[in-house]
Amino acid sequence: MNTNTALTFTALDGDPFMFDNNDEEWYLSNRSMAKRVRDYLLDGSYSIGTYGEKVKSSTPNATKAYLQYYLKPLNSDGSDNTNTYTLIGSGATGTVSGVSTISTLKKTLTCTFTTAGYYALKVVYRNGSELYRKIKVVDYSNNEGLVAVPRNLSDNEARWLGISSANKTNYWVYGLQDLQSKYRYQDGFRATVNDETGEGRNYYDAAGYPKPNRWSKTNDYADEYTWKYLPMRGSETTVSPVSEVGTYVNGYDGLVRRAWFWNDWALHYSSNWLNINKNSIGQQGLPPYVYSSSVKRIVNPSDLDQYNNYIQNTLFNTSTYASQLSAPWQFVIPLLSYTDYYGIRARTNPSCIYDLAKVFSATNGAFTGTPPNPANPENIQAPDYTDDYKDQQDFYNDIRFKRKLIVSNQTAGLLSSPGNVVKVYQNNPANSSTSTLVATYTSTLSGSREAAEEGPELAMEVAPIQAITEH
């Protein structure tokens, strides 16, 4: 977040009986509603009555509040230190260096950070459970984000792109970093989806915001960019990545994804697409981001009959991964969600197909006989894929949507030439002719343009010598 910007925290809970709710919830019993923790208990604005009961008062008190907020500055690199947490909010008098304003309203805390750096927030509920969050405060000036200092390709990035380790120093990676949370969650362009009619129009909610793909990150932020540079003399020019990037992106689905993607999986998607028929590939009720024409939606239970032999003979009789062997009456399959800008996201809880004959087996069923139960039920998980493929999927989406830009030495030299300005724009998915400037990068290198064109690293090495010569 930016300096001198108010940041607000509040306490929410998915269980309706936990905290106060101003709305009537008729499906709850009086007993359930009586269990709710009142706001005056959360902020400590209560006194002790005649019979020891807690009675609402008008003055918050942080020391006796059920919900307590603590804050401290961290080291300049974000690492922890021995600084003591300061109790803040709900009438507390403690102050924190770099924080100008601290206020609370019931269970909500608002802070204004005046000094850039890292801070740690600790939230304690009734001296029991604790929650920690790291806050990074950056002086953005007029930008929404920053451009990372360029670096060479890593060994893995070079390998994925088909570039030898010996040649990786001929390529440079520029990246977008520290994009403001407020911009990502609220102000930036959102991903757009077709509406329920299937006519391809953007659908907006009552507040005027595009309806989100609810499985995506940061409220469905449209995380795609265009990179340009502005020379000292001339106009803005779009910067394109090296050709190896295009080759890799175009071949990813057919080569890389096919190597690790599951043959059997469950798609988790919104029912908004229930009645849409995608005539182009004959799919009924599938969202637009399901690209495979082999995917078919099961509408009625009888639709599964055609897969009986496959389920019995392939899933249950030939699968050998550990979780399935531990509980042979069930086949655990990944529960996946598709997103526009982050690819496949696996849900924490997988889905299962059960063979009821095996469930009630007298020899190794789930309830009778001597079933080979796993030591820990959490071990019954869907088959996973390697960290290398996980990292590779992140890399693929980063370079596909230009969250990272990979360029040659020559192009990096132009971007890092003294006086040239690199600009990063967020693309508007609803209108390709509009975009928003989110970050700029101006090289602080001195020295000749010829040195810079050999790459940022050489320019950094040459700069001090060149400065002495010119002086």
Within-domain flag for 364:
yes
Placement of tokens 């929650």 in the chain: 131
Residue 397 maps to a domain: yes
In a domain, 254, yes or no: no
Q: Residue 294's pLDDT is what?
A: 61
Last residue of a domain, one of 382, 408, 440: 382
Q: Higher pLDDT residue, 24 or 417?
A: 417
Backbone torsions φ then ψ of 305, nearest 5 degrees: -55, -35
436 band by pLDDT with thresholds 50, 70 and 90: very high
Do 160 and 127 share a structural domain?
A: no
Give yes or no: residues 202 and 285 share one domain.
Answer: no
Verify that 69 and 89 share a domain, yes or no. yes
- Parent domain of 448: 146-247+393-470
Same domain, 360 and 410: no
Query: Given this model, what pLDDT does residue 290 score?
Result: 57
- Are residues 9 and 130 located together in one domain of the fold? yes
- In the predicted model, what is the mean pLDDT of residues 248-277? 72
Q: Is the pLDDT of residue 454 over 60?
A: no
* Radius of gyration, alpha carbons of the chain: 28
Strands 335-339 and 266-267: parallel
**How far apart are alpha carbons 37 and 22 in whole angstroms?**
13
Whether residues 12 and 112 share a domain: the answer is: yes
182 in Cβ contact with 137 (< 8 Å): no
Whole-structure pTM value: 0.75
Angle, CA 383 vertex, CA 377 and CA 386 arms, to 5°: 120
Mean of pLDDT over the chain: 77
Alpha-helical regions (H) of 16-56: 30-34, 39-42
Residue at 59 is within a domain: yes
Judge contact between 178 and 116, C-beta under 8 A.
no
Please give the tally of structural domains in the chain.
3
- In this structure, the answer to whether residues 333 and 418 fall within a common structural domain is no
The verdict on residue 112 lying in a domain is yes
Nearest to 407 by CA among 469, 470, 453: 453
Domain end point (choices 333, 350, 382): 382
Confidence of residue 455 (pLDDT cuts 50, 70, 90): very low
Asked if the structure places residue 79 within a domain, the reply is yes
Strand stretches in 324-464, DSSP E = 330-333, 335-339, 343-346, 351-354, 404-408, 421-427, 435-442
Task: Output 343 or 194, whichever has higher pLDDT.
Answer: 343
Q: Is 256 a domain residue?
A: no
CA distance 283 to 295: 8
How far apart CA 407 and CA 170 sit, in angstroms, is: 9
387 part of a folded domain: no
Chain CA centroid to CA 446, Å: 37
pLDDT over 70 at 463, yes or no: no
**DSSP-based three-state secondary structure for 324:** helix
Cβ contact 204:211 at 8 Å: yes
Same domain, 167 and 119: no
| Cβ 152 vs Cβ 173: under 8 Å | yes
Q: Is the CB of residue 229 less than 8 Å from the CB of residue 236?
A: yes
Cβ burial 13-41 (10 Å sphere, 16+ → b, else e): eeeebebeeeeeeeeeeeeeeeebbebbb
Rounded to 5°, the CA angle 336-340-345 comes to 25
Query: What Cα–Cα distance (Å) separates residue 190 from each residue in 7, 175, 268, 273, 289?
Result: 22, 21, 21, 19, 16
Question: pLDDT, tens digit, for every residue of 210-255?
Answer: 455 667 788 788 899 999 999 888 889 999 999 999 999 999 877 7
Contact 43, 60 (CB under 8 A): yes
Asked if residues 179 and 159 have their Cβ atoms less than 8 Å apart, the reply is: no
pLDDT value at 377 more than 50: yes
Same domain, 90 and 171: no
Query: Do residue 216 and residue 329 come from a single domain?
Result: no
For residue 230, CA distances in Å to 241, 393, 459 come to 17, 32, 19
Are 133 and 153 within one domain?
no
The answer to whether residue 187 scores a pLDDT higher than 70 is: yes
CA distance 469 to 354: 77
382, 403, 433 — which closes off a domain? 382
- Name 33's Cβ contacts closer than 8 Å, sequence gap at least 6: 17, 25
Contact indicator for 268, 337 with CB cutoff of 8 Å: yes
Residues 335 and 375 in one domain: yes
